[in-house]
Amino acid sequence: MNVHYHIGSRGDLIPTISVQQNLLADIMKSHGLVHDIEILADQLPLMGTDIDKCDSDVLDIEIFPDRPDLLSGETLAFALRPFLHGTVATPNLEVVDGKIAMDVDAELASIRPVVLAAVVRGVDNGATADEKESFIQAIMDHQEKLHFALGRGRKRASIGVHDLKTIQPPFKVIGVDGDFSFTPLTMEKEMTITEILEHHPKGIDYAHLMEGMNRYPIILDSNDSVVSFPPIINGAQTTVTQSTSEFLIEVTGWDRRACEASLMLIALQLAERGGTIESVSIDAVGRTSEQIPNGRGIIHSVPQRLVNGLLGRNFSEEELSTAINRMGGIYSGMSLAPENSPTVPKRMADAAAGEQMLDFLMPRWRFDILHPVDLVEEIAIGHGYEDLGQDVAKAPLTAIPRSDNHIRRRIRQSLQGLGLIQIQSLTLSNDRDQFELMRWQHSGEVTRITNPITIDHTLLRQYILPGLFRLLASNRHHELPQGVYELGTVVRDHKNCDRVGFLMAERGGGFAAVRGRIQAMMRDLGASEYKIEPLPKGEGPWLGGRSAKVIVGDVWVGCFGEIDPSVSNEFELKVPINGAEFDVSLLNSALPDPV
């Protein structure tokens, strides 16, 4: 399985997983079900996913980042069975009691406090060498996607998968000094912890997670062989090979919920391959011994008033049961809110004492269920949107014209008159697109996302053009010319402001063509006097000597020109491109309003 991103019709970035069709077919057949591509294509959009591309071997399926439980072919198949075929949902993970123990030293409380583990035996890793190699790659891919989606780059949670037959339980987790040495994965000789952090590729990538520490976590077996140095690298001895059928999964980190979900999803992936999950006894000093993982689902209680109010209709118990079963849960019935609930609900999701509640058992690994409203969404998806209730706004609202309404209208009319198509993309972007590829500097402070879901959405954009480049790149197989523009919001110095940009991909579209468009736009905006002055070489994405800035009065309102081919190549665009970007607020203040 590979995971990549494509650009949606609005310019937004959507994660896509490539799944072998024979994998889905085999898993479905093992449960007496039929894998039907027509059923998949018809039903997947209802689940918040979609088939992006299909050939005889591979399905490219869009998976939105709020569903990390679908990021492998096996866990996707697990979720599809009740959704597509109406099989009975299994929110409880089947776990048998195991005999293996893992002792956690008290010192880990200040180094890496959450330590969880599980064993999976009897995994069918394929019949041929190609199938076995594909299986290993699928596990590695799933790990890395969970590291990003749940682990926040291994900080909250990091996963290690090991060949159980190469190590000897019981296991222990201790803290060591920087001079402790072992042979890490992909290496043939021993390295100290310090050397790994400074010279090993994974150590260099994740050394920042160990900053400020003088003691480091190490997992050892009963022979003192190193199993793992979390969250950096596994020991070479435990490498998963084509002959591996028994696995030790260990997850460490700082967020118990993220660690637990990661552990259960890897275990579920292996269980879908025929494996049996065994619990591991985690013995931490000062804490009661735990059997991990806890396969029991979690009961979520939702006010009936909230469900009926948001979805606009009353649901029978049969409808609730069917809807939540499709989403992998079980409807447990009705109950009354306990007496310690608020007497009067402060918000719609709050419950008053004695209020009627709906109880749902959902899988423990459903990391995305954070609030009662999330369960309401599950019911809506499982039931279907076609016959939900209707409602109209009950509070009349009087619109107030924007101060820049006329300039925005004239910009749209002008650019559409020039043959450009308006698009709307996300305000979320990333440093590489906004600054590195475009050769622009930060304008004031950058507003960053504290916990980004994808590496492509880490900040709020400061420029419009990068999103237009991504859109053209995703449509490069279409005929030329292609012209698009966006009039949208950017965030600079933590404040919203509006900018407009356009790109035109056309054969023979040089500086004269884009200058003509700028002159036409400025005429349409009522600019009787303005100056066009050359930009210095290397200023932004523009080609040196073929770009300029527009000055109205003494105000620099925007830039335009031919795009440097080295910039276009970064977006895999091989055609001549020209474009422009302007600050709408500066245009509004510098130009008189003729209305």
Q: What confidence tens digit (pLDDT) does each residue in 36-78 have? A: 666 665 666 556 565 656 666 666 777 777 788 988 889 988 9
What's the token pair of residue 564?
Answer: 């440097």
- The answer as to whether 397 is a domain residue is no
Which CATH number characterizes residue 55's domain?
A: 3.30.56.10
The stretch 408-434 carries a mean pLDDT of 92
Q: Are 370 and 418 within one domain?
A: no
Hey, CA dihedral for 324, 328, 334, 335, is it positive or negative?
negative
Whether residue 90 is predicted with pLDDT greater than 60 in this model: the reply is yes
Distance CA 337, CA 323 (A): 23
Listed residue (577, 307, 280, 301) closest to 438, CA to CA: 577
C-alpha 309 chain-centroid distance: 30
Listed residue (509, 497, 485) closest to 461, CA to CA: 497
Q: Which residues, in sequence order, are bridge partners of residue 579? A: 503, 561
What's the token pair of residue 1?
Answer: 């399985």
Which CATH number characterizes residue 219's domain?
A: 3.50.40.10
- The answer as to whether 571 is a domain residue is yes
Q: Are 9 and 118 within one domain?
A: no
Whether residue 206 is predicted with pLDDT greater than 80 in this model: the reply is yes
Which CATH number characterizes residue 467's domain?
A: 3.30.930.10
- The answer as to whether 308 is a domain residue is yes
Q: Are 236 and 139 within one domain?
A: yes
Distance CA 536, CA 538 (A): 6
Tell me which of 39 and 157 has the higher pLDDT: 157
pTM reported for the whole predicted model:
0.70
- The answer as to whether 400 is a domain residue is no
Q: Are 61 and 181 within one domain?
A: no
Q: Are 412 and 499 within one domain?
A: yes
Tell me which of 339 and 191 has the higher pLDDT: 191
Which secondary structure element, helix H or strand E, spans residue 84, and what is its range?
helix 73-85
Listed residue (302, 303, 280, 276) closest to 293, CA to CA: 280
Which residue range is the domain that position 150 belongs to? 95-292
Q: Is 467 helix (H, G, I), strand (E, B) or coil?
A: helix
Whether residue 7 is predicted with pLDDT greater than 50 in this model: the reply is no
Q: How confident is the model at residue 336 (pLDDT cuts 50, 70, 90)?
A: confident
Q: What confidence tens digit (pLDDT) does each residue in 278-295 have? A: 999 999 866 778 999 999
The answer to whether the bond into 452 is cis (omega within 30° of 0) is: no
- The answer as to whether 269 is a domain residue is yes
Q: Are 81 and 177 within one domain?
A: no
Q: How far is CA 128 from CA 77, 136, 239, 285, in A?
A: 22, 13, 19, 45
Listed residue (163, 138, 377, 405) closest to 272, CA to CA: 138
Q: Are 302 and 280 within one domain?
A: no
Q: Which of 241, 269, 292 is the last residue of a domain?
A: 292
- The answer as to whether 389 is a domain residue is no
Q: Which of 56, 85, 114 is the last residue of a domain?
A: 85
Q: Are 514 and 550 within one domain?
A: yes
- The answer as to whether 80 is a domain residue is yes
- The answer as to whether 390 is a domain residue is no
Domain count for the chain, please give it: 4
